[in-house]
Structure 1
Amino acid sequence: MKLTGWEKKADLLYLETETGIAKLVPVSERAVRVVYTQDRSFSVKESLIVLNQGKKSVRWELREESDRLILRTSALKISINKNTCAFTYEDKDGCLLTKEPDRGGKTLVPIEVEKTVYDDQVTITTGQGADGVRARVEGSRKTVDRSAYHTKLEFEWQEGEALYGLGSHEEGVMDLRGTHQYLYQQNMKAVVPMLVSTRGYAVLWDSCSYMAFRDDMHGSYLWTDVDDEMDYYFLYGPEFDELVYEYRELTGSVPMLPKWALGYAQSKERYKSQEEILDILREYRERKLPLDLLILDWQSWTGNWWGQKSLDPERFPDPEGMMRNLHEDGARLMVSIWPIMNNNGPDQEEMREQGFLLGNQANYDPFRPEARLLYWKQANEGLFKHGIDAWWCDCTEPFEADWKGAIKPEPEERVSINVNEFKNYLDPEVINAYSLLHSRGIYEGQRETDDTKRVVNLTRSAYAGQQRYGAITWSGDTAATWTTLRNQIPAGLNFCATGVPYWTMDIGAFFVGKKPEMWFWNGDYDKGYEDDGYKELYVRWFQLGAFLPMFRSHGTDTPREVWRFGEPGSVFYDTLAKFLKLRYRLLPYLYALTGAVTQDHYTMLRALAFDFREDPAVRDIGDQYMFGPAFLVNPVTKPMYYESGSRKLEGVPSTRRVYLPSGSGWYDFWTGARLEGGMVIEAEAPLDILPLFVRAGSIVPMSPVVQSTDELGSQPYEIRIYPGRDGKFKLYEDEGDNYNYEKGEFASIEMEWLDEERTFKIGSRQGDFPGMVRKRLMNLVIVGAGGGQGNGEAESTMFDRTVTYTGESVVISFDSHEAAS
């Protein structure tokens, strides 16, 4: 593909080639959009993903050399080979980031795009599987709608380079090098088309079609199925936080979660009545076990009206009273709603009358703004106006077609089955974006109706840009095995590396037992919580869940409430209670991280390359991660005590291998012991211990244990200081719900530890908001080595000072012997 002409315009570089035209649009100093087509002009379609397509003025220059053109910003350089149009990407100093093959890396293959025609010959079959009702059209036909392209973008990745991203996938791969991944929406597969490299760059594809990533014997590339043109963004950091910043500048910032969303969420398949919901809350309160959210799973509707967005009046006779009782006791309620409707319920009939259903006459069409408005109207009138607090948008990849039978289909067969099912009802150019548009309708509808509640939407699917709609994605209907637990960690880390920050999972897995006739119902514990093997697995899953953005237990086959796993005094119950209470102690830290996600484009669930990109040892570690700037979390993902069937294991050490990244000192959270980075240790990991380390220089604000986030109020804070290097932390506070923070109604407090001076500074409070706590007791604790009580509490060998903070700056100096570790 030879370059035949070019023109530097005010905001872009226009290229003509032997086969088509291209443009490079600098959208920031660190981000360049690249578009290539074989048509005579570029597409004018509005992006579903990107909000800002080069609308900012960016300074850049173009230089011509004998064999290449060089586009340069203050941070990034792209060289274009005149003979082949191969791109080479470098930083401003000429250090290679990545490159296309010398022969050129962009391929467009013209195709005919088909659409489905529904006539009087079609039939619709409806059936209920393990994850809900599905309606399928049979007997439809296809007709050619237009022309488009398969697109293929090739790279020559460098030795030692690790790649992350592409969303949340079930296979448990951390570094994507040497692998391949099919990118379509599916239960346990949430796609985000953003690839992130340890060499300091990322590539975001502005495509909503089925895609495939490969780095194997077939080549190193990303391929898209149906696009009007090739359209992608090359981003440069080099740090991952900078890449996330660029991604969110393009696709939208993240609204604040309410404070209660950081508390514990109790769910199961399923609570069936108003009485049961209130009884569960009452039990948690009587046991002094913290809880903020109860979740009402599917079939809360009347009879067989699948997907109806209203509560069955027989089982939920007084929704307003139920919500009043929950709110008065510091709890909220999330309700499952579905994009698929069946059995001619009122919502389905109204959608059908308006012509807003897709070809199967069951799924509504979120790509139509008026259909999104009607969907919200139904959700508002049936649920939200009664006081419901949050949404569980289940089944948001609504055309799954392979969750049946005893044998799991081969990966390529699954691609064909599911992608073709999507194409029966949606334009193939947008089949990955159903959840994105569905989330948009919920977010915009609630914001328009009532700004006093922040939107919380737990959704099983995701796409680039979905973070702007108050969405949290969970990993789907997993099965209870130790392999699944291990695989969940890289799934979440790769998901959050894309820039979409809020990910969670079903603590304990969705399917606990086994049904041989269903390949996916494949857990190892048919006796559920009565099996000591499952109790051990559940405790380890719960420990991991306590260090995720959303802390939520859910699943079928067996109940999940804490007391199902024992009574006080048993190791299972006591360990669950311990980590539940630790989560609540960390609320000030967690809410500050949430504020940073919104205010500073931060990421709280962090692959180790976020903070230790230059340490090659971290690049393929998929079972350790940073939770915010302080905590190195090391979940236990192998059994130590029991097999399935309560069979005891013998001779298994209660330790796990932990790599402490180089460039920092580390503290054992439980004992205060100091260790050096850059080494592997065998960390103690009995059942009641999750190996947890804190980076030297960290400042961790903590609170007393409360029963719900509503009680946090003016509670005194304990400020943990981990010496060994200088450190900073910004405490964030606002009203905890509503959107007044968007008007500037929030406050922040900068905290700083100067290690050499042994001095701690609390800056003056910046900002104000209604109901702000103006005076708070703060106990400053400098952590040192100690014997450890096994509960992370301050030791007698730790040194503390108490101050009353009133919003004015405070400086506290510690004697050198006092602050020594």
Structure 2
Amino acid sequence: MEVIRYEQKEDHLLIESTNGVIKITPYTSSIIRIRYTLEKEFSLKESLMVEQDAQELVDFSVHETDSVIVFSTSNVQIQINKQTSAFTYTDSSGQILAKEPERGGKTLVPVEVVTSVFDQHTEIQNSQSVDGARAKAIPSKQVVDRTAYHTKLEFEWSDDEALYGLGSHEEGILNLRGTHQYLYQQNMKAVVPVLVSTKGYGVVVDSYSLMKFHDDMYGSYIWTDVDSEMDYYFVYGPNFDQIVSSYRHLTGKATLLPKWAFGYVQSKERYKSQEELVSIIKEYRKRQVPLDAIVLDWQSWTGNLWGQKSFDPERFPNPTQMMHNIHDLNAKLMVSIWPIMNNDGPNHVEMKQKGYLLGNQATYDAFREEARNLYWKQANEGLFSHSIDAWWCDCTEPFEADWTGKVKPEPEERLRINTEESKKYLDPGFINAYSLLHSKGIYEGQRQTTETKRVVNLTRSTYAGQQKYGTIAWSGDITANWETMRKQIADGLNFCVTGVPYWTLDIGGFFVSKKDQWFWNGDYQDGCEDLGYRELYVRWLQYGTFLPMFRSHGTDTPREVWRFGEPGTMFYDTIVKFIKLRYRLLPYIYSIAGWVTHQDYTMMRTLAFDFRNDLKTHNSKDQFMFGPAFLVNPVTEAMYYSNKSVEIEGASKKRMVYLPFGTDWYDFWTNERISGGQQMEAAADLETMPLYVRSGSIVPFGPDIQYSTEESTDPLELKVYKGEDGSFTLYEDEGDNYNYEKGEFSTILIRWEDEENRLVIEKRQGSFHGMKSTKELVITLINGREDRISSSYNQRKVIYNGEQMIIQFS
């Protein structure tokens, strides 16, 4: 399409072509919004994901040559081919970042949008599956609601370019080059329409319909199913952290989870009574195994009143007292709630009478503010008023419909089944956004009720912008086998690279045994009695120790620590070892959580975050950085037992790891110092997951504690890994309220100056209620020598009083 004319306005550039109009608007010097329409005017629809105040007034210039129009901010240029309107994106120096095909890369194809009509004649079919209650409606008729467009945005990506993002799926793909991906919500998919490139840019698509990504024989493009126009943002970094920061500028800052949410969370399908919940916590305390929360999975309600948000009085006779007991044990309770209600329970009847249910007369309409308000009112009166601590918003893609049968449907068939069911009840242009609005209602409702307890919402479905609502995504009902565990690592990394920071999974897999349905496909009929499963579980828990949320969950078999042996046995002892390691790392982890909120940091990092120029890291799908210090290398194959407790003979107790170039690395377990830029075999016996620390790192280690807020008189240890300059900002606040939003937190910048061999602890900045004025510190200098810790040369004890302190090592 040829450019006819262009006009520079105060805040945008308008381009009229022979086939539509393009609008280019800078939101910041690094974020450029591009809209393309065939209509006379651009849509007035309000974005569900982009913040209303995201647009800043940005200086930009426009000039032209014989062949192109050039739009420029201080960081980004877009060259528009006058003959074809093809875009080429460059940095300020003219270095090409991305480009469309020379013929042009934007296509809009008209499509009629069909919606269902439900009335008093609509037939409702109620059922229950493994994935919960379902209600299907047979619409009386369907009508054409409007005309919209399929949109197609094409690129020509470079041969050496890696692409990440799009959310958490189930195929175990890290680098998306040469692949395709379908973006719709279902049990094991969480969609975030963000692509991030190692060339230093990202693409954020403002669409809520079914989407497809292709980089294969069919082309290289992003396609959307139903939109009024093409609407996307080109985001320049060039670093991944800068891209994430711009994404959150657009869609909202990540809220800070309470400190306890980073401790160990025990769950299973399911604890059934008040007595059982309390007894499990007591057993953890008796064994002195750290624990911060326990989870009450589905059917807290009475009988078959699926989705009722209240406690069954027979099994939970005194929920307020239960919460007192749990809190007295210094633990928290997370309760599962569902958007689906049926069987005429009180919540269901109230929603129906108000007209707040979707066409199946069971799922509440999260797109209506008044329906969200009523949903929160019900949750508050039935559950939150008893002082529960967190939500597990299950089934937040309420119309997934392929969890039946013995044979898993083909990918395209699954796409059809699920999206057709969703389009019955939701506008086809918004089928991916249900969880975003559902999370918004929970967050806003709790914030209006109290500011003393931070919102924690573990949710199965996600969309762009959901990070501002206190959510953690988990990857759905996965199966217990080594292949699934391997795939999950890449799935989580692609989720977090989008800018949505909190992701987790069911440690040990949800389905452990094998049954008739295609999804119930675990390898261990005997559950935790099978030594093969015990090995898989231990390896999964080692990996889970370095996830944003550390949570065990699943069906078929219990998950408590003592189900895997007793003290003195290798499985039990290794599980306890890693849970205790997680708790010693809480000062490090909670500081990073503070960075996530205050500095737009990312906790779980694909290696390209920190080593983008090391091409060998681009496809490292089973290694990642956890914060700035730790290189995590999960063990993803059996070394001791196959299923049915069959012993494996002669298996190597090692795994290959790649240590990224440009820094030295320390083996966390031995403190051996190793040069980066090499592939090597690492020790990986059951007690050891290969774990490396980047030189120059400063890692705060807390004392051994039983829960995240336990007070200890033991000092805070700062481990300093020699080899290059480094820094760490220690973040602290009250741990579980929103006073941090008012500036009530403290930071302490700690710097290691390698050549000078000294540690500088800067003056504390800020304060909060209950902050200790002094800290006892043990500073351990690790340099790879055999006398690394025992020598007084390597370790110092100091009292820090909030003022600058310099510790000189000789």
Partner of residue 802, structure 1: 797
1:43 aligns with 2:38: no
Q: Secondary structure at the match of 1:28?
A: coil
1:811 aligns with 2:806: yes
Q: Distance in 2 between matches of 1:196 and 1:51?
A: 20
TM-score by length of 1: 0.98
Mapping for residues 326-345 of structure 1, pairs under 5 Å:
326-345=326-345
Cα distance, 1:328 vs structure 2: 1.5
Partner of residue 776, structure 1: 775
Counterpart residue identity of residue 727, structure 1: G
Partner of residue 362, structure 1: 362
Q: Secondary structure at the match of 1:324?
A: helix
When structure 1 is superposed on structure 2, of 418-427 and 311-320 the one drifting more is: 311-320
Q: Deviations over 1:364-386 (max 9, x none)?
A: 00100000000000000000010
Mapping for residues 720-759 of structure 1, pairs under 5 Å:
720-759=719-758
Q: Deviations over 1:110-152 (max 9, x none)?
A: 1111110113442111111111111111253210001100000
Cα distance, 1:26 vs structure 2: 0.5
Counterpart residue identity of residue 6, structure 2: W
Q: Is the 8 A contact 1:192 1:495 kept in 2?
A: yes
Partner of residue 547, structure 1: 546
Partner of residue 531, structure 1: 530
Structure 1: where are the runs of 5+ without partners? 816-821
Counterpart residue identity of residue 571, structure 2: F
RMSD: 1.1
Partner of residue 605, structure 1: 604
Counterpart residue identity of residue 801, structure 2: T
Cα distance, 1:794 vs structure 2: 5.1
Partner of residue 765, structure 2: 766
Q: Distance in 2 between matches of 1:769 and 1:306?
A: 43
Q: Distance in 1 between matches of 2:151 and 2:221?
A: 10
Q: Deviations over 1:742-771 (max 9, x none)?
A: 111000000000000001011111001110
Counterpart residue identity of residue 699, structure 1: I
Q: Secondary structure at the match of 2:214?
A: strand
Partner of residue 377, structure 2: 377
Cα distance, 1:784 vs structure 2: 2.9
Q: Secondary structure at the match of 2:221?
A: strand
Counterpart residue identity of residue 734, structure 1: D
Q: Distance in 2 between matches of 1:24 and 1:641?
A: 59
Q: Distance in 2 between matches of 1:798 and 1:387?
A: 50
When structure 1 is superposed on structure 2, of 51-60 and 642-651 the one drifting more is: 51-60
Q: Secondary structure at the match of 2:294?
A: strand
Q: Distance in 2 between matches of 1:444 and 1:795?
A: 52
Q: Distance in 1 between matches of 2:152 and 2:376?
A: 38
Q: Deviations over 1:683-721 (max 9, x none)?
A: 000000010000000000011110001204664200000
Q: Is the 8 A contact 1:713 1:773 kept in 2?
A: no
Q: Distance in 2 between matches of 1:333 and 1:738?
A: 17
Q: Is the 8 A contact 2:716 2:778 kept in 1?
A: yes
Q: Distance in 2 between matches of 1:541 and 1:725?
A: 33
Q: Secondary structure at the match of 1:335?
A: strand
Mapping for residues 588-737 of structure 1, pairs under 5 Å:
588-712=587-711, 715-737=714-736
Partner of residue 109, structure 1: 109
Q: Is the 8 A contact 1:547 1:627 kept in 2?
A: yes
Identity %: 61
Partner of residue 497, structure 1: 497
When structure 1 is superposed on structure 2, of 706-715 and 434-443 the one drifting more is: 706-715
Q: Secondary structure at the match of 1:330?
A: coil
Q: Secondary structure at the match of 1:248?
A: helix
Q: Distance in 2 between matches of 1:336 and 1:627?
A: 28
Q: Distance in 2 between matches of 1:14 and 1:151?
A: 19
Partner of residue 33, structure 2: 33
Cα distance, 1:52 vs structure 2: 4.0
1:74 aligns with 2:69: no
Q: Secondary structure at the match of 2:780?
A: strand
Partner of residue 560, structure 1: 559
Counterpart residue identity of residue 293, structure 2: L
Q: Deviations over 1:28-63 (max 9, x none)?
A: 011100000000000011000101476311111111
Cα distance, 1:168 vs structure 2: 0.2
Q: Is the 8 A contact 1:784 1:797 kept in 2?
A: no
Q: Deviations over 1:472-498 (max 9, x none)?
A: 000000000100000010000000000
Q: Is the 8 A contact 2:116 2:425 kept in 1?
A: yes
Alpha-carbon spacing, 1:361–1:762, altered in 2? closer, same or farther (3 Å)? same
Q: Secondary structure at the match of 1:648?
A: coil
Q: Is the 8 A contact 2:705 2:712 kept in 1?
A: no
Q: Secondary structure at the match of 1:681?
A: strand
Residues paired across the two proteins, number: 810
Cα distance, 1:806 vs structure 2: 1.1
Partner of residue 818, structure 1: none
Partner of residue 278, structure 2: 278
Counterpart residue identity of residue 191, structure 2: V
1:201 aligns with 2:196: no
Partner of residue 119, structure 1: 119
Q: Secondary structure at the match of 2:432?
A: helix
Q: Deviations over 1:498-546 (max 9, x none)?
A: 000000000000000000x200000000100000000000000000000
Q: Is the 8 A contact 2:7 2:15 kept in 1?
A: yes
When structure 1 is superposed on structure 2, of 704-713 and 287-296 the one drifting more is: 704-713
Q: Secondary structure at the match of 1:113?
A: strand
Q: Secondary structure at the match of 1:291?
A: coil
Q: Distance in 2 between matches of 1:542 and 1:644?
A: 18
Structure 2: where are the runs of 5+ without partners? none
Partner of residue 293, structure 1: 293
Q: Distance in 1 between matches of 2:436 and 2:704?
A: 37
Cα distance, 1:682 vs structure 2: 0.1
Partner of residue 12, structure 1: 12
Mapping for residues 137-152 of structure 1, pairs under 5 Å:
137-152=137-152
Q: Distance in 2 between matches of 1:579 and 1:786?
A: 25
Mapping for residues 402-441 of structure 1, pairs under 5 Å:
402-441=402-441
When structure 1 is superposed on structure 2, of 433-442 and 702-711 the one drifting more is: 702-711
Q: Is the 8 A contact 1:190 1:461 kept in 2?
A: yes
Q: Distance in 1 between matches of 2:789 and 2:575?
A: 21
Counterpart residue identity of residue 547, structure 1: F
Mapping for residues 469-484 of structure 1, pairs under 5 Å:
469-484=469-484
Cα distance, 1:612 vs structure 2: 0.1
Q: Distance in 2 between matches of 1:103 and 1:393?
A: 46
Partner of residue 213, structure 2: 213
TM-score by length of 2: 0.99
Q: Secondary structure at the match of 2:27?
A: strand
Cα distance, 1:20 vs structure 2: 1.1
Q: Deviations over 1:138-197 (max 9, x none)?
A: 253210001100000000000110000000011000100000000000111000000000
Q: Deviations over 1:64-115 (max 9, x none)?
A: 1111100111111100001100000011111111100000000000111111
Q: Distance in 2 between matches of 1:75 and 1:677?
A: 32
Q: Is the 8 A contact 1:725 1:755 kept in 2?
A: yes
